[in-house]
Structure 1
Amino acid sequence: MPRFPSLFVSHGSPTLALERGGAADFLRGYGERLGRPEAILVVSAHWETATPAAGTSAAPGTIHDFRGFPEALYRIRYPAPGAPGTAAEAARLIGAATGMPVRLDPERGLDHGAWVPLSLMYPAADIPVAQLSILRDGGPAGHLALGEAIRPLRDAGVLVLASGSATHNLNEFRGNAHDAPAPGWVAEFGEWMAAAVRDGRTADLLDYRRLAPSAERNHPTEEHLMPLFAAIGAASPDSGSRGTRVHAGHAFGVLAMDVYAFD
């Protein structure tokens, strides 16, 4: 059975689903290059809970969790079958590894952190998908532990897809052109992160808030970076948690659209 890398994908604006060029075109080709997993477990920045939760719907709906975007976005449906068995096994693994209770949610659909990148990577929507929440107060270390707990799923052909944003300051986003160049404070943070991931400097990444340049400006709140730590945790121990930045780019200047693969 093929073993897929754990991924961190920057999903950017919901309009990524409609775009051409840059990150959108990369993701359109990336699913084909990766191949077809048995199931996909998405760790999305857009589902925050106090303790872990896993979606067990057999037919998860498409959640349009945004306002003020083009009508075409609201017409998109991603009708992938659910993966309740994968979700239940993720819950079991997390409970065994961390002692935290995991809530199984049979009603949860796929938010745009899940369906936007999946609609590009696997447009046929024929691979079972389950979603796992991030922890409201988990911090980098808590999400690293979450990723370590679900690592065995990769041996069963499950693609762990952590979806967030390499930078995410929406206060600096408004009014920028889509192709605006990245300001220095965004570019420097992105390069620091890429080097730390490449070198497997997990301790530095866990302390990114203190060590990375302009960390708080790039992430006024942390939820969009937390999936990265889940992807790192799901990497194989023998990789030294090193990852590869397989795509780099920016949208609207301040949204780094980096994609990282581990193993």
Structure 2
Amino acid sequence: MDTFFISHGSPRLLINDKPARYFLESWKEKPFHVAPKAILVISAHWETTEPAVSMIKGTNDTIYDFTNFPKHLYEVVPLLILLFYLVFFNFHKLKYPAPGAPELARKVKKLLQKAGFNGAEEDESRGLDHGAWVPLMLMYPEANFPVCQLSVQSHKDGTHHYNIGKALAPLREEGVLIIGSGSATHNLRLLDREDVPTPDWALEFDSWLTQSLLLGRHEDVNKYEEKGPNAKIAHPEPEHFFPLHVALGAAGEEAKAELIHQSWGSSSLSYSSYRFMTGA
């Protein structure tokens, strides 16, 4: 089974008239018409010291997470705006009650430990954050597939996350859909109006990423801070990029990449999304 990286955007994607929204809504008809047995989401919005997997035995809670963004967001976005978002979009009314996937979570932990990630942990209380429920609400609105999440480690690097993905590769053969959920570019300080042209730094990094993936330059992607143009501007914090490395690693060294969607939001936020075709 193929693996995927999705640029998920904010909860506003659920109501905004955007190409990225329509792309996700068409998921089952176009990019991926196979019904998975379960879904593993590597979310940018769950950061831990060691890899952690959600172990929910009943129904996943929906987390309205505006407390786990990079620290600089709170320096530039007034609390009043965050409260406005919460009220205006009635996030507390949105639910994505997908069943948990405890059996899958146990397999994830076992595979990680087998690969040397001995600190891998289970979390029996964490629900789905918006890195998972926003895209899944558009992709699988029925919420009828078991879902669990895997965290990222922002103090590590791309190679660390690529190796996590490699450890999880056997799950593909069991019908598990592995989705990395983040953003191809993610600099919240430099977001602008929708009608402002996309800046060169974002275009250059996004183009480099696509070409590197299509040409199979996995090592360059793993070392994106050295190889990618404007990498530190495109990702001043790494948590929204590392889910891509996990999905890429899970597809295997011979995986072929396909750009399945590309559009822009807020001038510089790339919604580029990729399929990593494994041939299995």
- Say whether the fold is shared (TM-score over 0.5): yes
- Unmatched tracts of structure 2, length 5 or more: 67-81
Counterpart of 1:243 in structure 2 is: 257
Q: Which moved more, 1:183-192 or 1:65-74?
A: 65-74
Tell me, in whole angstroms, the C-alpha distance in 2 between the residues paired with 1:17 and 1:90. Answer: 30
Q: Deviations over 1:35-71 (max 9, x none)?
A: 2100000000100100111101121100000233133
1:215 equivalent in alignment to 2:215: no
Q: Which moved more, 1:253-262 or 1:134-143?
A: 134-143
Query: Do 2:154 and 2:238's aligned partners in 1 also have CA atoms closer than 8 Å?
Result: no
Q: Which moved more, 1:186-195 or 1:8-17?
A: 8-17
Q: 1:23 to 1:179 in 2, by over 3 A?
A: farther
Q: Which moved more, 1:147-156 or 1:206-215?
A: 206-215
Counterpart of 1:80 in structure 2 is: 98
Tell me, in whole angstroms, the C-alpha distance in 1 between the residues paired with 2:98 and 2:11. Answer: 18
Q: Deviations over 1:64-120 (max 9, x none)?
A: 002331333332100000111101101100110124221111101000000000000
Q: Which moved more, 1:31-40 or 1:68-77?
A: 68-77
Superposed counterparts of 1:217-236, under 5 Å: 217-236=233-252
Superposed counterparts of 1:10-49, under 5 Å: 10-33=7-30, 34=32, 35-49=34-48
Query: Do 1:98 and 1:145's aligned partners in 2 also have CA atoms closer than 8 Å?
Result: no
Q: 1:39 to 1:29 in 2, by over 3 A?
A: same
SS in 1 for 2:115: helix
Query: Do 2:4 and 2:180's aligned partners in 1 also have CA atoms closer than 8 Å?
Result: yes
What is the CA-CA distance between 1:181 and the residue it aligns to? 2.7
Tell me, in whole angstroms, the C-alpha distance in 2 between the residues paired with 1:223 and 1:138. Answer: 10
SS in 2 for 1:8: strand
Tell me, in whole angstroms, the C-alpha distance in 1 between the residues paired with 2:56 and 2:252. Answer: 29
Query: Do 1:39 and 1:158's aligned partners in 2 also have CA atoms closer than 8 Å?
Result: yes
What is the CA-CA distance between 1:180 and the residue it aligns to? 3.4
Output the amino acid matched with 2:167. Answer: A
Query: Do 2:10 and 2:134's aligned partners in 1 also have CA atoms closer than 8 Å?
Result: no
- Unmatched tracts of structure 1, length 5 or more: none
Counterpart of 2:72 in structure 1 is: none
Tell me, in whole angstroms, the C-alpha distance in 2 between the residues paired with 1:31 and 1:149. Answer: 27
Counterpart of 1:50 in structure 2 is: 49
Tell me, in whole angstroms, the C-alpha distance in 2 between the residues paired with 1:182 and 1:72. Answer: 30
Question: Which of 194, 200, 211 is the equivalent residue of 1:184?
Answer: 200
Query: Do 1:144 and 1:229's aligned partners in 2 also have CA atoms closer than 8 Å?
Result: yes
Counterpart of 1:116 in structure 2 is: 134
Counterpart of 1:129 in structure 2 is: 147
Tell me, in whole angstroms, the C-alpha distance in 2 between the residues paired with 1:236 and 1:140. Answer: 15
Tell me, in whole angstroms, the C-alpha distance in 2 between the residues paired with 1:164 and 1:89. Answer: 23
Query: Do 1:44 and 1:164's aligned partners in 2 also have CA atoms closer than 8 Å?
Result: yes
Residues matched between the structures, number: 256
Tell me, in whole angstroms, the C-alpha distance in 2 between the residues paired with 1:22 and 1:171. Answer: 23
TM-score computed with the length of structure 1 as normaliser: 0.94
What is the CA-CA distance between 1:179 and the residue it aligns to? 4.5
Output the amino acid matched with 2:263. Answer: G
Superposed counterparts of 1:120-199, under 5 Å: 120-173=138-191, 176-199=192-215
Q: What is the RMSD of the two structures over their aligned residues, measured on CA atoms?
A: 1.3
Counterpart of 2:6 in structure 1 is: 9
SS in 2 for 1:31: coil
Tell me, in whole angstroms, the C-alpha distance in 2 between the residues paired with 1:90 and 1:32. Answer: 28
